[in-house]
Chains A and B, each alone.
Chain A
Amino acid sequence: MNEQDARAAVRAALGKVAPDVDLDDVDGGARLRQDLELDSLDFLRLVQTIDTATGVDIPERDYPAVATVDGLVNYLAAHG
């Protein structure tokens, strides 16, 4: 998947989990947990939503790599 598709997938998933977050206003380096205030359940739901939408199942050991918005987009672009 190219970067644009990956970003769209992240936007859609974030829209479900944290509808108050507008990806356009968020810096790419923003941390999902600390800056966007996703708790562990939100984060799990985000990963699940992305899995359902794109088929990319992010294993727990890769969670550190997807801790930021850009990290997540890049991960999807690389694995999708």
Chain B
Amino acid sequence: MGDFLMPSLGADMEHGKIVEWLVKPGDYVRRGDLVAVVDTDKTVMDVESFQEGVVADLLVDIGETVPVGTPLARITATPAEVGAPGEAPLPRPATPAALGEAPAPAAEKPAAGPATVAGAPASEAREAAPEAPPPSASAAAPPVAPPVRHLAHRLGVDTGRIHGTGRGGAVTRADVEHAAAARPVARVRSSPRARRLAADLGIELSALSGTGPEGAVTVTDVQQAAARQAEATPPASARREVPPPAEAAGPAAVPFPAEAAAPSPSPAETAGTPPEAAGRVASLRRAIGSLMSRSKKTIPHYYLSTTLDLRAAVGWMQSVNAQRPVAARLVPSALLLKATALAAMDVPEINGFYEDGAHRPSATVHLGVAVALRRGGLVAPALHNAQTLPVDELMEQLRDLVGRARAGRLQRAEMADPTLTVTNLGDLGVDSVFGVIYPPQVAMVGFGRVLDQPWAENGMLGVRPAVVATLSADHRVSDGLRGARFLARIDELLQKPEDL
């Protein structure tokens, strides 16, 4: 119970604008459910609720800009408090264990409550859960117009259970909306965004085994289902139980489906073009300016550079790509990022945060990737646990992340918690780039342009693809020796690209 506040989505954020509400009064939200889309100076982000309850009131209108910490919505504990005509007390689903590997939690879900077979047409529900009592009403189902049925499907309402008020007992849009509002808690647990995505992709929520808190179906689950990657379950530790930004290694960002299956419909679906592009660029400039000023004022940078021999890596990549359709091809950046993440595990002094006068190393690498926005400015969202990702997976996530960053649809956790950032300006033609560290991080890695270069070895001169790697690191945390070790480690790893 309490207020949902404008969250801080980065060290430099002072205020945010509500661009879209993903919930409405009467909606039941759980911790981790996405509730609003917030426009910061840098980008547009989905933000999630840190509490559970029923949305009583939206306090800020769409389009309003408010300081961090401003109450945005009031969330109360039970539907009764807001006078919603909920016929059931807050049901705990019978299957909180649905989180893990239980392969067929769908079969148990109906046990949670009489009205739980959300939105599943009777036949599908029976298929998913043989022991579910067949909804008796469905035999004499009232007429339902296709658009209304579609709406019912989106809202997770079983039209067979609704008493139609239209002509001849027909179920109307209003009936469906009433039914949805009347039992906001009796659905498969899921975020509004997950439901919308599921409806768009034609995925049946009740058939999914959710990985969110208490089995809630997340956007990721839906995307995974869409990509038919049923076996890829994120580790339980990646659950979004813990709200502090640095720890919230949100699973939402982890396994994304191949773009081949569906070119990420989520980012673009509602974003639209932000109205005042010029104003946005100006405020983005200011935000970058103040963060970089702080970095240069407080962090004693030192800089190193080395030239990486990419003959093995590029050769391997080309031979792999030649066998693949374009959707599955790799770019050199994917190899460079993976090698960087692995090297960071070996040299922890360049990974993590500097806070309260001390370095707090990170046990994992959330690799920030600086993405230039076409309208100007840049953002650096994170690839979570990059050191654990197979190269193909990292490549997919990179494409997804960059695509969403450009479309302005990043998630809060992705913006808030990189432990090390890479800038890849070389892609656009410079030989090397020495980055400015994003506080509170302790290092920034830069890659220049991948270029054929004359290369002397064993008294012979040849031509090889190579790239200049740079390290900007915090002298309070590491010295040049460790920094050099880090860059050398990247080079070593790239000599065996097939092992990355």
Count of residues in A whose CB is under 8 Å from the partner chain: 20
Known contacts A58-B326, A60-B321, A44 near B427 by CB under 8 Å: no
Contacts of B185 in A (CB 8 A): none
One of A3-11, A32-40, A65-73 contacting the partner = A32-40
Contact A60 B399 (CB under 8 A): no
Contact residue among A19, A45, A58, A60 (Cβ-Cβ distance under 8 Å from B403): A45
Q: Is B374 an interface residue (CB 8 A)?
A: yes
Contact A51 B399 (CB under 8 A): no
Q: Is B402 an interface residue (CB 8 A)?
A: yes
Contact residue among A33, A37, A45, A60 (Cβ-Cβ distance under 8 Å from B322): A60
Q: How far is the CB of B333 from chain A (nearest CB, A)?
A: 6
Q: Is A48 an interface residue (CB 8 A)?
A: yes
Q: Is A22 an interface residue (CB 8 A)?
A: no
Known contacts A18-B374, A45-B403, A60-B318, A39 near B428 by CB under 8 Å: yes
For B374, the closest partner residue in chain A by CB is A20
Contact A51 B326 (CB under 8 A): yes
Contact B329 A40 (CB under 8 A): no
Q: Is A64 an interface residue (CB 8 A)?
A: no
Interface string of B212-228 (1 = CB under 8 A from A): 00000000000000000
Contacts of A37 in B (CB 8 A): 372, 374, 428
B residues 371-427 in Cβ contact with A at 8 Å = 372, 374-375, 398-399, 402-403, 424, 427
A51 to B424, CA, bound (A): 26
Residue from B321, B322, B427 with most neighbouring chain A CB atoms (10 Å): B427
Contact A48 B326 (CB under 8 A): yes
A39 to B374, CA, bound (A): 11
Contact B399 A47 (CB under 8 A): no
Q: How far is the CB of B446 from chain A (nearest CB, A)?
A: 14
Q: Is B325 an interface residue (CB 8 A)?
A: yes
Q: Is A27 an interface residue (CB 8 A)?
A: no
Interface string of B290-325 (1 = CB under 8 A from A): 000000000000000000000000000010011001
A52 to B228, CA, bound (A): 20
Known contacts A41-B398, A44-B331, A60-B321, A34 near B429 by CB under 8 Å: yes
Q: How far is the CB of B206 from chain A (nearest CB, A)?
A: 32
Interface string of A50-66 (1 = CB under 8 A from B): 01100001111100000
Contact B326 A44 (CB under 8 A): yes
A9 to B192, CA, bound (A): 36
Contacts of A44 in B (CB 8 A): 326, 329, 331, 399
Contact A40 B333 (CB under 8 A): yes
Contact A41 B321 (CB under 8 A): no
Contacts of B427 in A (CB 8 A): 39-40
Known contacts A18-B374, A39-B372, A40-B427, A47 near B326 by CB under 8 Å: yes
Contact B329 A60 (CB under 8 A): yes
A residues 1-33 in Cβ contact with B at 8 Å = 18-20, 33
A58 to B325, CA, bound (A): 9
Q: Is B133 an interface residue (CB 8 A)?
A: no
A40 to B428, CA, bound (A): 8
Residue from B318, B321, B326, B375 with most neighbouring chain A CB atoms (10 Å): B326
Contacts of B429 in A (CB 8 A): 33-34
Contact A20 B428 (CB under 8 A): no
Contacts of B327 in A (CB 8 A): 48, 51
For B318, the closest partner residue in chain A by CB is A60
Contact B428 A33 (CB under 8 A): yes
Contacts of A41 in B (CB 8 A): 331, 333, 398-399, 402
A43 to B135, CA, bound (A): 52
Q: How far is the CB of B449 from chain A (nearest CB, A)?
A: 10
Q: Is B332 an interface residue (CB 8 A)?
A: yes
A37 to B403, CA, bound (A): 15
Known contacts A33-B428, A45-B399, A40 near B332 by CB under 8 Å: yes
A33 to B429, CA, bound (A): 9
A14 to B329, CA, bound (A): 19
Q: How far is the CB of B56 from chain A (nearest CB, A)?
A: 39
Contact B325 A51 (CB under 8 A): yes
Q: How far is the CB of B429 from chain A (nearest CB, A)?
A: 6
Contacts of A52 in B (CB 8 A): 263
Q: How far is the CB of B127 from chain A (nearest CB, A)?
A: 32
Q: How far is the CB of A27 from chain B (nearest CB, A)?
A: 18
A9 to B326, CA, bound (A): 17
> A residues bordering B, Cβ < 8 Å?
18-20, 33-34, 37, 39-41, 44-45, 47-48, 51-52, 57-61
A-B interface, 4 closest residue pairs, ranked by CB to CB distance from nearest = A39-B427, A40-B331, A48-B326, A51-B326
Known interface pairs A37-B374, A39-B428; 13 further A-B residue pairs with C-beta atoms within 8 A, sorted by A's residue number: A20-B374, A33-B429, A34-B429, A37-B428, A39-B427, A40-B331, A40-B332, A41-B399, A41-B402, A44-B326, A45-B403, A51-B325, A59-B322
Q: List 6 A-B contacts (CB under 8 A).
A: A40-B332, A41-B333, A44-B331, A48-B327, A51-B326, A57-B325
